[in-house]
Amino acid sequence: MTLSVFLQSLISGILIGGVYALIGIGLTIIFGVMRVINFAHGDIMMVGMYLTFYLFTLFHVDPFVSIVITIPLMFLFGAFLQKVFINRIIGTLPQNQILLTIGLGLIISNSAMLAFTSDYKILTTSYSSGSFKLGEISISQPLTASFIITVVITAILYWFLMKTDTGQAIRATAQDREAAQLMGINVSRMSMLAFGIGAAMAGTAGALISPTYYIFPQVGSAFTLKAFVITVLGGMGSIVGATLGGIIIGIVESVGAVAISSDWKDVLVFAIFLLVLLVKPSGLLGRSRM
């Protein structure tokens, strides 16, 4: 592998890793506040992909512009799921939480199959296969735009959690739910906000990846597993860790596919995941609170 090929795969990995990070951030916010592993996370992302696809095909809304619509709609969808379903199993046995979220994921994916069929859909824009040159390196236009938007959204989210009263209330709920409630924080509302934000992040990731990825009802299962790996790799409940984990996964996939084979990229991802768990079980940034 030549240096230019390595650099190109490295840059591509960083760019796609940014979108992966957005998926992981959504999952880690939900876990940090509610202590619920959301196995329907990828299916929520799939809803965002279909929403983006139909906004583009029916109303000609550019996928990257559509996030202005996708974010609030996916937030409301996540808040609805939390209020109606997830809220009932907070504090219950972990297996109850797992079974409920898996069940929700199956309902969402099978509903999508009934509504849209199992056919693959492709969102083709004028820039879907576009690229620009940086010396000898060819860089994807849609991946670059996705990465820039991801950085902006992540920065806004980080500012919101650190600097606003609501953000600090969400963090307080994540640190100690009972103490936050005793201090007058409405922890039920914070949980609904956290799940809504997590769903909005997943939906946004779906919108950003739509121009470069096939859209079909079962696409969520692969991304659920990837989000779980990213979250655990970075450190459960750590937003910075999820960002780092997403970029690492993106780099490993991209460089591994070029250096070895595309068939081995997932094997490499899980090998690194297991290695980190063996060496540092708490994840790279090793904290269980946001």
Report which of 62, 85, 15, 34 is spatially closest to residue 193, judged by C-alpha positions: 34
> Residue 179: beta bridge partners?
none
CATH value at residue 197: 1.10.3470
pLDDT of residue 169: 96
Domain containing residue 60? 3-279
Query: Residue 183 has which token pair?
Result: 């201090």
194-236 pLDDT, tens digit each: 999 999 999 999 999 999 999 999 999 989 989 999 988 888 7
User: To which residue do tokens 């509302």 refer?
Assistant: 189
How far apart, in whole angstroms, are the C-alpha atoms of residue 142 and residue 128? 6
Q: Is the pLDDT of residue 126 over 80?
A: yes
203 lies in a domain? yes
78/175: higher pLDDT: 78
285 lies in a domain? no
**Helix (H) / strand (E) containing 152:** helix 141-163
Q: Is the pLDDT of residue 289 over 80?
A: no
155 lies in a domain? yes
Q: Residue 19 carries which side chain, given as an amino acid letter?
A: V
pLDDT of residue 286: 63
88/54: higher pLDDT: 54
289 lies in a domain? no
End-to-end CA distance of the chain: 40
What does the angle CA 199 – CA 90 – CA 224 come to, to the nearest 5 degrees?
Answer: 35
How far apart, in whole angstroms, are the C-alpha atoms of residue 236 and residue 238? 6
pLDDT of residue 205: 96
The pTM assigned to this predicted structure is 0.94
286 lies in a domain? no
At 90, phi and psi to the nearest 5? -65, 125
Please give the mean pLDDT across all residues of the chain: 91
Contact 47, 61 (CB under 8 A): no
Neighbours of 80 (CB within 10 A): 14
* Percentage of the residues of the chain whose pLDDT score is greater than 90: 67
Task: Tally the domains of the chain.
Answer: 1
